[in-house]
Structure 1
Amino acid sequence: MALVDSAESRLLIDGKLVAGSGGTFATVNPATEETLGVAADASAADMDAAIGAARHAFDDTDWATNVELRVRGIRQLQQAMRDHVEELRELTIAEVGAPRMLTSAAQLEGPVEDLSFGADTAESYSWTTDLGIASPMGIKSKRMVAREAIGVVGAITPWNFPHQINLAKIGPALAAGNTVVLKPAPDTPWAAAVLGELIVEHTDIPPGVVNIVTSSDHAVGALLSKDPRVDMVSFTGSTRTGRAVMADSAQTLKKVFLELGGKSAFLVLDDADLAGACAMAAFTASMHAGQGCAITTRLVVPRARYDEAVDAAAGTMSGLKPGDPTNPGTICGPVISALQRDRIQAYLDSAIAEGGRFACGGGRPADHDTGFFIEPTVIAGLDNNAKVAREEIFGPVLTVIAHDGDDDAVRIANDSPYGLSGTVFSADEERAHGIAARMRVGTVNVNGGVWYSADMPFGGYKQSGIGREMGLAGFEEYLETKAIATAAQ
């Protein structure tokens, strides 16, 4: 099987792979600017059909109550992805611009293996809880609590880690008994469309349970938030778009899960290994060209060692040259598009306009005439009020900010509209945990610990979102709670 046959992907609607009624649109290799092929371009009518199919599959089949079928379908999809992992790897490198090394982790193989968590959870989950007999209001009653699928889930996903985010929504939603309409970002349609091919050809997932609608028009995805047949919208993307999803969903009071932006802080305390911590911060900010919502992009260091910290970060970052993502040694590949590259450059220009300086980087690399590349950049000389310290850039850019002790470091970390992630480095683990407890964020890395895992909940505080993805909390996002009482003798 050749994934994305003839370099043209199709929609998945009601169990069939079909063309988009809007024609096709191009998908582009961000490292070469070459057109890879085309994707089916869905219209509002296609989305309407997909929502209708998902509604029928939920209301009129046993999918929501047949745990065995759900688990089997998820495991079959996982095995199909394993069997085609090398084709998927090449597709991901070409369409996403993901460095090859990352496809062994969060860009591909990690999310595929994480599908097991949803299936395992569904098999072992306590769908009902017996609360025993009580006599509320003097009436003897047998009481139980049931957990049930929400219904039709609209999943709207971004382009930066498409496999990870697509599967982190589809896997738990299906395992919990829901049907799904997936609307991926127009920058990476093939990464979603291949799931449709694998589902149709290699799984027992019934028609209508999963529908995949690629489109160049963002308004087609917005229909999921507005349609009363959709019971929940699970959205990952920008905070600005998240507000629109929430506003549209409010018209029908549907549930929303929102995983949004971040401007996370990497705190280095005065007893830490400064050079080692700053090198890690620089490496992290450069990975996949900084295109990760939870990447720590503010390096907050002791004021007395500020220049040393800037030099250490720049020393690492200047060695991470942007390069060909097909090369196994590449850490920093291209950003996704010319539009995104120009957006990042505008932020870099603003740093200079506000009085900052570049310790390394600062623009497009001179040795790349094609491809959407930006040099890994360290910005120095600004405080936490600068634009590059306040707003999410989504590029390989690290801003170094001075702090005057632990309390000030926490203040700077929390002085942000976002609250997605954070890092603390200290020679004293107890001290570091004390700082972590004061950070208003959803995930914290202490001294290099890794929180990313299928069984760990991921999400943020404040304008970084609502709810949690992954872990048991992420599974339960897709469930309703029903209380049942029966009169007892």
Structure 2
Amino acid sequence: MLGNASAVRGPSPLLLDGRLTAGSGGTFPTVDPATGETLGEAADATAADMDEAIAAARRAFDTSSWPADVPFRVRCLRQLREALRRHADELRELTIAEVGAPRFLTFGGQLDAPVNDLGWFADLAESYAWEHDLGRAEPMGVPSVRRVRREPVGVVGAITPWNFPHQINLAKLGPALAAGNTVVLKPAPDTPWCAAVLGELIAEETDIPPGVVNVVTSSDHRLGAQLAGDPRVDAVSFTGSTATGREVMATAARNLTKVFLELGGKSAFIVLDDADLRSACSYAAFAAATHAGQGCAITTRLLVPRERYDEAVQITARALTKIGVGDPRDDGTVCGPVISARQRARVEGYLELAVREGGSFACGGGRPAGRENGFWIEPTLVTGLTNDCRTAREEIFGPVLVILPHDGDDDAVRLANDSPYGLSGAVHGGDAERARAVARRLRTGTVSVNGGVWYAADVPFGGYKQSGIGREMGVAGFEEYLETKAIAESPS
């Protein structure tokens, strides 16, 4: 399947119990969002295929040496990293074609960074203190030697979205496998090839045993619910919308299955009154337009000092207009297409809502001229709204930035925190300590201060409030995939 994306062979297979197979449900198309043209086909799994995948993962966990053999797991993860590196050029073209990801992003979070992060999780597993000695004590007068062990949770159901497929697929697979779990991966139907290629490389270029990883592509969203609700699954890791996250949590609750969720965001970019306004607003424009705004942690509310609001609007609108849209295959493109006609319609619905709510567009507001094919939206700056408007409160997932005035640091913090979400944020100010003080008051899981980058393998990622439960990445993300066992024995 690997090769030039325009010549990819199809359909892509499922990975079930170590076998690359067409499955039992036929195929479904995957589409290039920049052109609207069908790229090829992917295996369309059925409920029976998902059942087989779960059974295989359960069997591999319960009967193989995988959960206990740390050196073997470490070696396999490094094999997978090297296999992905060997095919980086082909994977880059496939990702640009299927995801509509700008080329420059594939050298970061869309491909290279998550591939390299597998090595970090392998290193962590190799050095991790799997058992901790609490020493001797006499609880209730009984001499005892106590230990605390960390052990894999079991079978993990990983349900992933389409916007950063390699990052999110590997951010679940890497720590889950390093911790000794087996995995059933159910990717979004918009980007099946990115997951299917992962399955192919696991089967063909690593020693990962059958059943340890199963990749189930399908056009049927009900398979995600099947995975979340199966009693053979010990933990569910879901990334996606808050609305779907609620459904996953409710489904998993029937079996009291452990759940961790990385959900939506409407993150605030705060510009303090001592900041370089031009630099800060230009940075905010770049962030909001990157990958057509299709990132849960992208800052999509720009909070600027009220007395400089008009100036900030002009600077930001000029920056967004200059960014524009472009072919994701081009090196200089920042804002490519949105993923599908369905997503474009969703974004356009919010643009119509913004006008009904009393807003207007300082730039953008529709489809760009000359882009009749594919799924395009202009980078857009919405003015004239308040923080209680739906357009300013709800996640749009498009290149749409809402600019709002604030009346000082306390008001900026109030506005930023006045949101059902709490995933990310940014603060720009001339006085670094003042900016840090504002950042500490934000109720979010990640904050960038004056352009600092928090995204890295060793940094935990996740949100407060309706942005999720638990963390991915870092030691905290790794430990989401572990159980804790206390052992006490009588001293000899």
User: Quick check: TM above 0.5?
Assistant: yes
Task: Please tell me the residue identity of whatever aligns with 2:36.
Answer: E
Q: 1:26 aligns with which of 24, 29, 39?
A: 29
Q: Secondary structure at the match of 2:314?
A: helix
Task: Please tell me the residue identity of whatever aligns with 1:2.
Answer: L
| 1:263 lines up with 2:263 in the alignment | no
Q: Specify the alignment match of 1:387 in structure 2.
A: 390
Task: Please tell me the residue identity of whatever aligns with 1:477.
Answer: E
Task: Please tell me the residue identity of whatever aligns with 2:73.
Answer: R
Q: Secondary structure at the match of 1:402?
A: strand
Q: Specify the alignment match of 1:234 in structure 2.
A: 237
Q: Per-residue deviation at 1:463?
A: 0.1
Q: Per-residue deviation at 1:321?
A: 1.4
Residue by residue, what CA displacement relative to the aligned partner does 1:16-75 show, whole Å, maximum 9, x if unpaired? 000121110000000001100000000000000000000000000000000111111111
How many equivalent pairs are there?
Answer: 489
Q: Per-residue deviation at 1:387?
A: 1.3
Q: Matches of 2:491 and 2:101 in 1, distance apart?
A: 60
Q: Specify the alignment match of 1:301 in structure 2.
A: 304
| 1:426 lines up with 2:443 in the alignment | no
Residue by residue, what CA displacement relative to the aligned partner does 1:303-354 show, whole Å, maximum 9, x if unpaired? 0000001111001000111111111111000000000001000101111111
Q: Specify the alignment match of 1:397 in structure 2.
A: 400
Q: 2:448 aligns with which of 431, 441, 445?
A: 445
User: Could you tell me the TM-score, scaled by structure 1's length?
Assistant: 0.99
Q: Which runs of 5+ in 1 are unaligned?
A: none
Q: Matches of 2:333 and 2:2 in 1, distance apart?
A: 27
Q: Specify the alignment match of 2:290 in structure 1.
A: 287
| 1:81 lines up with 2:78 in the alignment | no
Q: Per-residue deviation at 1:414?
A: 0.2
Task: Please tell me the residue identity of whatever aligns with 1:471.
Answer: G
Q: Per-residue deviation at 1:6?
A: 2.0
Q: Specify the alignment match of 2:2 in structure 1.
A: 2
Task: Please tell me the residue identity of whatever aligns with 1:308.
Answer: E
Q: Per-residue deviation at 1:7?
A: 2.4
Q: 1:316 aligns with which of 314, 319, 324?
A: 319
Q: Matches of 2:272 and 2:318 in 1, distance apart?
A: 20
Q: Specify the alignment match of 2:208 in structure 1.
A: 205
Q: Specify the alignment match of 1:179 in structure 2.
A: 182
Q: 1:72 aligns with which of 71, 75, 79?
A: 75
Task: Please tell me the residue identity of whatever aligns with 2:2.
Answer: A
| 1:218 lines up with 2:187 in the alignment | no
Q: Per-residue deviation at 1:2?
A: 3.3
Q: 1:102 aligns with which of 91, 102, 105?
A: 105
Alignment of 1:459-470 (within 5 A): 459-470=462-473
Q: Specify the alignment match of 1:112 in structure 2.
A: 115
| 1:37 lines up with 2:34 in the alignment | no
Q: 1:417 aligns with which of 415, 420, 435?
A: 420
Q: Specify the alignment match of 2:58 in structure 1.
A: 55
Q: Matches of 2:2 and 2:367 in 1, distance apart?
A: 35
Q: Matches of 1:141 and 1:469 in 2, distance apart?
A: 36
Residue by residue, what CA displacement relative to the aligned partner does 1:463-483 show, whole Å, maximum 9, x if unpaired? 000000000000000000000
Task: Please tell me the residue identity of whatever aligns with 2:352.
Answer: D
Q: Per-residue deviation at 1:386?
A: 1.2
Q: Matches of 1:21 and 1:185 in 2, distance apart?
A: 18
Q: Secondary structure at the match of 2:447?
A: strand
Task: Please tell me the residue identity of whatever aligns with 2:409.
Answer: D
Residues 2 and 197 of structure 2 are in contact (CA less than 8 Å); yes or no, is this contact kept in structure 1?
A: no
CA RMSD of aligned residues (A): 0.9
Q: Which runs of 5+ in 2 are unaligned?
A: none
Q: Secondary structure at the match of 1:366?
A: coil
Q: Specify the alignment match of 1:336 in structure 2.
A: 339
Residues 30 and 42 of structure 2 are in contact (CA less than 8 Å); yes or no, is this contact kept in structure 1?
A: yes
Q: Matches of 1:431 and 1:329 in 2, distance apart?
A: 35
Q: 1:135 aligns with which of 121, 135, 138?
A: 138
Q: Matches of 2:224 and 2:470 in 1, distance apart?
A: 20
Q: Matches of 1:6 and 1:328 in 2, distance apart?
A: 26
Residues 359 and 385 of structure 2 are in contact (CA less than 8 Å); yes or no, is this contact kept in structure 1?
A: yes
Runs of 4+ in 1 over 3 A off after TM superposition: 1-5
